[in-house]
Amino acid sequence: MSIWIKDTLLVTMDPQQPVIHGGHLVVTGDRITHVGAEPPSALEQERCQRIIDGHRTLALPGLINAHSHIGMAPFRNYGSDLPLETWLFDKLFPMEDKLTADDVYWASQLSMTEMLRTGTTTFADMYMFSDTTADVVAKVGMRADLARGLQCFTDDVDLATDTRVQEALQLWERYHNSAAGRITVRLGPHAVYTCRPAYLEAVAQLAADKDLGIHIHLSETQKENSDCQAAFGRSPSEHLAELGILRRPTLAAHGVHLSDQDRRLLSQFDTAVVHNPGSNLKLGSGVADVPGLLEAGVTVALGTDGAASNNNLDMLQEVYLAAVLSKGVFHNSVGVTAQQALELATVQGARALGRPDLGQLRTGMKADLLLIDLDQPHYYPLQDPVAAVVYAGQGSDVLLTMVDGNILYERGAYSTLDIEHIQWQMERLTEDLFQRP
Ligand SMILES: [Zn+2]
């Protein structure tokens, strides 16, 4: 299938030609085959089965949500206004014990409707019943990097009998590089405060043996840092480096409380910090020093975290927060610029996931993109397209979302998801879930 998007405003994230007014983009199969101010050749035009009139639309590379727990959708709007520890240990963990694969099946679908509706094409997820989520990803057509969440509170470690680790290995065997390469798998030790050191060491060794990356929470709260310091005499970053975790390509979610020394340490490894401004604000955890991380040379991606602590999966909202928060908190009108904020959700997200074929609208890249409807009051006058998307844009402005060359969402309609049925199932299962003993 070839698709020609004509006369659109291309925000490519490609430094060679960052913004193209009245531009043209052609997708052939799963790749972008033409990007430019000039229309495609007559021969290319002839091959296109569909032409999309892009007048008053803005095209962006698909947004990458680098930290989520999409199976948490049933806990949206539950346990609000609590600190992280209370929220997690007293509210979330007991309810999560009651979750079934069926709950995660519908929660995954609901989350995907929301992500596609707001322009997200790829997400990195850590949760339970990840095989169920993988099946949904394969069916729906999104791109995902999945990790079965791991935790261990005892010192006698035997990964061979650890059911979570065994599920993680099955996930890797069955799904890594599956669905035409749209699904990848990594190991997901939850955090330093939910995984004993011997366990983290064993998980790091397993990741090295299987050549897998890691997805972990890092320095989300001040308490995580002070507890780690008291127990092990080092910061969580130093702890993970010491235990071998950081020797693997690592997605480190949050990084709210990092010292200069931690930032320098992280910059020496293939570690990407995933900034989750909405979740960090809501749980009162603080604000990550994104300018400091970027200055230290650390890759910084962007994520929503779960719908229980955000409470939505709208990446444009996170882009906005990333851009304004650093200015307000650090009293710096430059802080994270609009361009940098958009990079966190695109090129930097792609780098964090080790995907050089994502994050830009450029010939040869994977055809993951979105179109924004510029015919909205908040886009007049347009002036600077990047500032318009970052400071005035909203997830609901997304007209069309494409993954791997397939249009999965367009003007309220989904090609692979039944939104009404999914919403009905979510109401049903959530009512049931909260009544379970
Ligand atoms: Zn998280």
Q: What is the pLDDT of residue 190?
A: 98
Q: How far is CA 355 from the centre of its chain?
A: 13
Centroid of ligand 1 to alpha carbon of 256 (angstroms): 12
Query: Measured in angstroms, how far is the CA atom of residue 379 from the centroid of ligand 1?
Result: 33
For residue 214, what pLDDT band results from cuts at 50, 70 and 90? very high
The alpha carbon of 353 and the centre of ligand 1 are apart by a number of angstroms equal to 16
The Å distance, Cα 28 to ligand 1 centre, comes to 36
pLDDT of res. 51: 97
> 171-197: string of b/e by CB count within 10 Å (b at 16+)?
bbeebbeebeebbbbbbbbbbbbbbbe
Q: Is the dihedral of CA 344, 109, 130, 104 positive or negative?
A: positive
**Which CATH superfamily includes the segment(s) 63-352?**
Metal-dependent hydrolases (3.20.20.140)
pLDDT the model gives residue 14: 98
Distance 338 CA to ligand 1 centre (A): 25
Ligand 1 mean position, distance from CA 125 (Å): 9
Q: How far is the CA of 69 from the centre of ligand 1 (A)?
A: 7
- Kindly list the protein residues that place their beta carbon closer than 5 angstroms to ligand 1, a single-atom ion: 305
Q: Which CATH superfamily is domain 2-62+358-414 in?
A: Urease, subunit C, domain 1 (2.30.40.10)
User: What does the DSSP assignment read for 315-353?
Assistant: HHHHHHHHHHHHHHHTT-SSSS-HHHHHHHTTHHHHHHT
CA of 190 to the centre of ligand 1 (A): 8
Where are the chain's structural domains? 2-62+358-414, 63-352
Average of per-residue pLDDT across 242-258 = 98
pTM score of the predicted model: 0.98
Residue with tokens 């949904």: 136
Angle separating helix axes 130-140 and 163-175, nearest 10 degrees:
20
344 CA distance to ligand 1 centroid (A)?
A: 17
Q: Is 79 a residue whose pLDDT tops 90? A: no
Closest Cα to residue 31, out of 303, 400, 399, 360?
360
For residue 401, pLDDT over 90 is answered with yes
CB count in 10 Å sphere of residue 310? 24
